[in-house]
Amino acid sequence: MGLGITVMVVDWQRLEAIPVGERANRLFEESDQAEDLDAGWFWPLGDGAPWWGVYEFRNTLGSYKPHFWAGEAWDDARDHAEPQLRSALDGFLIGLGIRWDPDEDDEEDDNPEPGSWRSHLLLHCSPEDASTLAGLWSRAEPRLDGLRAPFDTHAARGPGSWIPDYAAFASLLRGWGEVVGEADGRGWGVIGLRC
């Protein structure tokens, strides 16, 4: 079936109040409520204000593949992007784990030991990190449409692929922009559960 991702914005204080050994199971249980979500946001109903929300990206079917292929396409397009867009999108995509950072220290271990609650995650983004990503997105988004022609010339994969053209790439990135913007606006973090 392949690797899937469930993207959640989470009240970090509530998350940290859950015992470490129970966090992954609790998040999986909560996210199961959004099982039939086609696209957009799911906020749980219940007493009080929600402490989490799930975002489903359009045209991804919950798969991680479109996110991976967006990173690959960016690698092909980035040399043709104007420098301010390239800088902002590099930071944005690296922060989301969608693009490998060639300057990153190889000794840094972002993948904790097996059995750790974080071993269930594809993304662990604190409120501070979400705020940084929201700032990068606010710099990139106004310039994004300037990438249309270079992207379609150098990075388009064609019909049948997860990221066939600029429109699919931009749609996926705008979804991520919505996620980090929502998290930043609430002072929350972002979690990407491995499914």
For 95-149, the pLDDT digits (tens) are 998 865 445 443 344 444 445 666 788 899 999 999 999 999 999 999 999 999 9
Residue 115 lies in a domain: no
- Domain presence at residue 112: no
Residues found in the chain: 195
How would DSSP label each residue in 22-87?
Answer: HHHHHHHHHHGGGTT--SEEE---SSS--SEEEEE-TTSTTBSHHHHHHHHHHHHHGGGS-HHHHH
Whether the model clears a pTM of 0.85, i.e. scores above it, the answer is: yes
Does residue 143 lie within any of the structural domains?
yes
Residue 109 lies in a domain: no
User: Is 65 inside any structural domain?
Assistant: yes
Domain assignment of residue 108, yes or no: no
Of 194, 110, 98, 106, nearest to 140 (Cα)? 98
Q: Please tell me the total count of domains within the chain.
A: 1
Is residue 113 included in any domain, yes or no? no
Write out pLDDT tens, residues 152-186: 999 998 888 999 999 999 999 999 999 999 999 99
Q: Which domain holds residue 146?
A: 5-103+121-194
